[in-house]
Amino acid sequence: MCGFAGYITENGKAPEYKDNLIEMMNSIKHRGPDDEGTHIDDMAGMGFRRLSIIGITNGKQPMYNEDESIVVTFNGEIYNYQTIKEELIKKGHIFKTDADTEVLVHGYEEYGKDLLQKLRGMYAFAIWDIKKKEMFMARDIFGIKPLFYTQTDKDFVFGSEIKAILKFPTVKKDLNEEALESYLSFQYSILKETFFKGIYRLPPAHCLTWKDGKVTVERYWEPVFDTDDNITFDEAVKMTNDVMKNSIEAHKISDTEVGGFLSGGVDSSYIVARSNLDKTFSVGFDYPKCNEIPLAKTLSDYVGVKNTSKLISTEEFFTEFPKVMNHVDEPLSDPSAIALYFLCKLASENVKVVLSGEGSDELFGGYNIYKSPFALAPMYKIPKPVRRGLAKTFQKLPFRFKGKNYVIRAGQDLEERYIGNAYIFKTKEVYKLLKNPKKKYTPQSITKPIYDKVKDKDDITKMQYIDINTWLWGDILNKADTMSMAHSLEVRVPFLDREVAKVAFSIPVKHRVDKHETKRYFRKAANEFMPDITAERKKLGFPIPVRNWLKEDKYYHLVKSTLTSKEAEKFFNVSELEKLLDDHYNGKVDNSRKVWTIYAFILWYQKHFVEAA
């Protein structure tokens, strides 16, 4: 786990930017405090910060092929690198190190972009072909590792984090207000263009080629649900346990000690129960129903592993939140990101690498919302025109009552009502909140191309597909990478493995979800390795007591001061923000997620565009 940054500029000018490259590298030192390296020729500069995990003694980057005509910088881990290395040696390639990085440079020499079909791991990398004057970049299939880029009039600039790109002298720092509208609905930055004008993210499962000033981006892998209806429930259980054993073993490859995150949920518990780790880490809050430490202790005792935990106080949370908004490159309003920040800090004091349970819900069908097709089934017996008419009527009613949202949802197609695991503000609400809405995108215009690829699938599969292509990389993996790298910690995710995906995408939907239970076959698989209370536990996410905090005078006033600040007035109709907060404070409606989404953005903007100016 590391970080890199670099640029391509006019022929002969690259050495002039050496000091800027060092500054770019220093801005992401937290990603790799152990070592650094640079490559500069007449046209390109590439810088690297290293967190030493595999090939500790000889894994320095940038790394070259035999004649040093091809150079690579790489962030991540290739878990099947030894197999690929053996193939390449047989083809005549000469390896100088035992690091997984070197298979990329030789693999690209041998296979070109087809190398991507062979890789099993998490990765973002940049390969510069000095002879061809061509840059090739790629990001792993799920988007575990980040990669950003921009093209100015004369320069192509890239990096593991946006903050590194912003250090390059020809890159301007301008807010992209179009990103704000979609953020208010999704709770994270989802557009290809980031919150900074002209700076783009390379999407998961995509590769990029730069040649003669032209950038070409293409997709090289798709998450295809090709189910086999002949697979029985028991076969699904066995297939899952077999492939997970293999994935966990691969993800444990390291020259340093590997620990594990452990909550009270089935995902992290399953990883820990099957990993034979020595150390696990947990956090909780000093609030009822928001402390998973006791459950984590139960599981750690059951499997015989040491557990280190921390109870986060409310004051600590609010003290650290602005600091985290200063660290992240784009606003992220998921409150669990702050809990993860504390968890990563705790783990980093003991190990360099941890295993974590991200991805299980998306692949196996674990979110409670996936049961909604069963809940809405009685309404589907009513003719669609009637349902839609009822929904429109109920939407116009100014007051809330039990069953209102149920009827509204039943009158909408899935493609209208589901944009992913979070849907904070509807489009009309966004336009009401903002002073100058751009109205370029709606949530549905963003998700439509994704839905179009699964037109023939059932609603549960469609929801999983949407979440894999949006929520997973935009929220779950984004916060995992950002919070862990803030503490120079590598987080590995065994569920998000190419081979695991093959199995998950083959399992019939009837084994995934029914009206009573989510990820059914996975829970049964987990039952073989842990107590029933853990394997059968309902999906809760990371419980954060935001709704309680916003009803306490101290934090109500703290948040209100931000929502009524001059920075808030720049973008929002502040009276609308005050109403959202006051209605929540007075117990009229739970607006906690809406308030927090706006609060997070304003704090982020203050840190990046006001205090940093």
385 burial level (CB within 10 Å; 0-12, 13-18, 19+): exposed
φ, ψ of residue 555 in degrees (nearest 5):
-85, -25
**Token pair for residue 491?**
């987080």
Q: What are the residue ranges of helices labelled H in 162-313?
A: 162-165, 178-186, 233-251, 266-275, 293-303
DSSP letter at 199 equals E
Place of tokens 């996936």: 370
Instruction: Return d(Cα 141, Cα 362) in angstroms, integer.
Output: 14
Q: How would you classify the pairing of strands 156-159 and 306-312?
A: unpaired
Asked if residues 310 and 342 have their Cβ atoms less than 8 Å apart, the reply is yes
Instruction: Return d(Cα 600, Cα 613) in angstroms, integer.
Output: 19
Asked if residues 279 and 259 have their Cβ atoms less than 8 Å apart, the reply is yes
Asked if residues 50 and 59 have their Cβ atoms less than 8 Å apart, the reply is yes
Listed residue (221, 53, 237, 44) closest to 139, CA to CA: 221
Residue of 2, 207, 290, 344 marked active site: 2
Instruction: Return d(Cα 331, Cα 260) in angstroms, integer.
Output: 27
**Token pair for residue 544?**
């954060």
Listed residue (505, 471, 494) closest to 122, CA to CA: 494
| Helix (DSSP H) and strand (DSSP E) numbers for the chain | 29, 17
Compute how many other C-beta atoms are within 10 angstroms of the C-beta atom of residue 493. Answer: 24
What is the H or E stretch that residue 210 is in? strand 206-211
Instruction: Return d(Cα 371, Cα 373) in angstroms, integer.
Output: 6
**Token pair for residue 554?**
């101290």
Asked if residues 12 and 42 have their Cβ atoms less than 8 Å apart, the reply is yes
Query: Catalytic: 2?
Result: yes
Q: Taking the alpha carbons of 457, 459, 460, 463 in that order, is the dihedral positive or negative?
A: positive
Asked if residues 27 and 167 have their Cβ atoms less than 8 Å apart, the reply is yes
Instruction: Return d(Cα 482, Cα 189) in angstroms, integer.
Output: 14
DSSP string covering 268-286: HHHHHHHHT-SEEEEEEES
Asked if residues 389 and 412 have their Cβ atoms less than 8 Å apart, the reply is no
412 burial level (CB within 10 Å; 0-12, 13-18, 19+): middle
Listed residue (271, 273, 286) closest to 543, CA to CA: 286
Identify residue 173 by its one-letter amino acid code.
Answer: K
Listed residue (476, 487, 161, 474) closest to 342, CA to CA: 487
- Residue 392 to residues 149, 199, 421, Cα–Cα distance (Å): 44, 40, 24
End-to-end distance of the chain based on CA atoms, in angstroms? 31
Query: What residues contact 540, with CB distance under 8 A and at least 6 apart?
Result: 265
Asked if residues 156 and 149 have their Cβ atoms less than 8 Å apart, the reply is yes
Active site residues: 2
